[in-house]
Amino acid sequence: MLPPARISPMNFPPELISFLKKSERIAILTGAGISAESGLNTFRDAQTGYWSQYRPEDLATPQAFTRDPKLVWDWYAMRRKKVAEASPNSGHFALVEMEKHVPNFTLITQNVDGYHRQAGSQNVLELHGNIQQVRCFDGCGIVKSWEESDDVPHCPKCGAYLRPDVVWFGESLPHDTLIAAHQATLACQAFFSIGTSGLVQPAASLAHTARQRGALVVEINLDPTPLTPSVDFALHGKSGEILPALVEAVFGGQ
């Protein structure tokens, strides 16, 4: 197989545009890169990624929360504050526009910032949870919206700690959400992997599943990733610039 052409974003290949014009089922996977232009940190970018400054096992595991709940709480509170101070960008809004033109559109995200829904996307699957919510650490079932608190709050039902309603390393993804993401991936004609390093499972396998089922796979990323050799089209650049131009090229004037 030939490697995917590295395409200048604003010079989209006609075969990509015509395929997308007639696609009725599109699935999208997004990662931290789509929110980078909003000013939020990614995880693995060399200078600014969280995991270049901190160790995930100190901040994003159940063991870390058991060891030092306040440290973990404060880190997520800091991230939640950044999310609240910033807002969705042109990449998020382009996907809102795309959804209006595609009968069967599923937006799968690894991001916990809630920006896709905030921008106006409707069919969103949040694989890694949402930083605007908390839930009981003991699993009594309580889920509620995050309220400002300096101390780690307690569950109103059972008194255990409340934790951010996000998925940590070593934890399972929400079952129904993952099933829905798989179904959309199996059914789609075109699959986009946008702003994700493709290193975290099970999200990373979705693009390969889509490809095995015959879907056209498109990657939008600043840089090549491990997925790049397997995609049909690799669009290298900022998602906040490429996505609006692509949506205009495919659906403009419709």
Q: Does 37 bind ligand OAD (CB under 6 A)?
A: yes
State which residue, 37 or 232, has the beta carbon closest to ligand OAD. Answer: 37
Interface with ligand OAD includes 131 (CB under 6 A)?
Answer: no
> Are the CB atoms for 33 and 195 separated by under 8 Å?
yes
Q: Is residue 49 close enough to count as binding ligand OAD by CB under 6 A?
A: yes
Q: Can you tell me the distance from the alpha carbon of 101 to that of 1, in angstroms, rounded to the nearest whole number?
A: 32
Residue 238 as a binder of ligand OAD (CB under 6 A): the answer is yes
Beta-carbon contacts of 131 under 8 Å, excluding residues fewer than 6 positions away, are 76, 79, 80, 83, 112, 113, 114, 146, 164, 165, 166
Are 216 and 191 in contact, with CB atoms under 8 Å apart?
Answer: yes
Q: Of 96-104, 130-138, 176-184, 236-244, which part binds ligand OAD (CB under 6 A)?
A: 236-244
Question: Does 193 help bind ligand OAD (rule: CB under 6 A)?
Answer: no
Distance CA 249, CA 247 (A): 5
> Any contact of residue 210 with ligand OAD (CB under 6 A)?
no
Backbone angles phi, psi at 223, to 5 degrees: -130, 160
Q: Is 45 in the site for ligand OAD (CB under 6 A)?
A: yes
Which entry of 101, 116, 128, 182 is annotated as an active-site residue? 128
Let me know if 92 is a catalytic residue: no
Tell me which amino acid residue 252 is: G
Vertex 4, ends 105 and 245: CA angle to 5°? 50
Q: Residue 8: CA atoms inside 13 Å, Cβ hemisphere, count?
A: 2
DSSP helix/strand/coil, 23:
coil
**Smallest Cα–Cα separation from 102: which of 169, 25, 14, 158?**
25
Of 222, 228, 244, 249, the one binding ligand OAD (CB under 6 A) is: 222
Shortest distance, position 237 Cβ to ligand OAD, whole Å: 7
Contact present, 107 and 30 (Cβ < 8 Å): yes
CB of 197 to ligand OAD, least distance (A): 3
Q: Does 225 help bind ligand OAD (rule: CB under 6 A)?
A: yes
Answer for which of 90, 130, 185, 197 binds ligand OAD (CB under 6 A) is 197
185 binds ligand OAD (CB under 6 A): no
4 binds ligand OAD (CB under 6 A): no
Q: Choose which of 36, 102, 131, 190 interacts with ligand OAD (CB under 6 A).
A: 36
The binding site for ligand OAD (CB under 6 A) comprises: 31-33, 36-37, 42-45, 49, 56, 60, 110, 128, 167, 169, 195-197, 199-200, 220-223, 225, 238-240
Active site residue ranges: 128
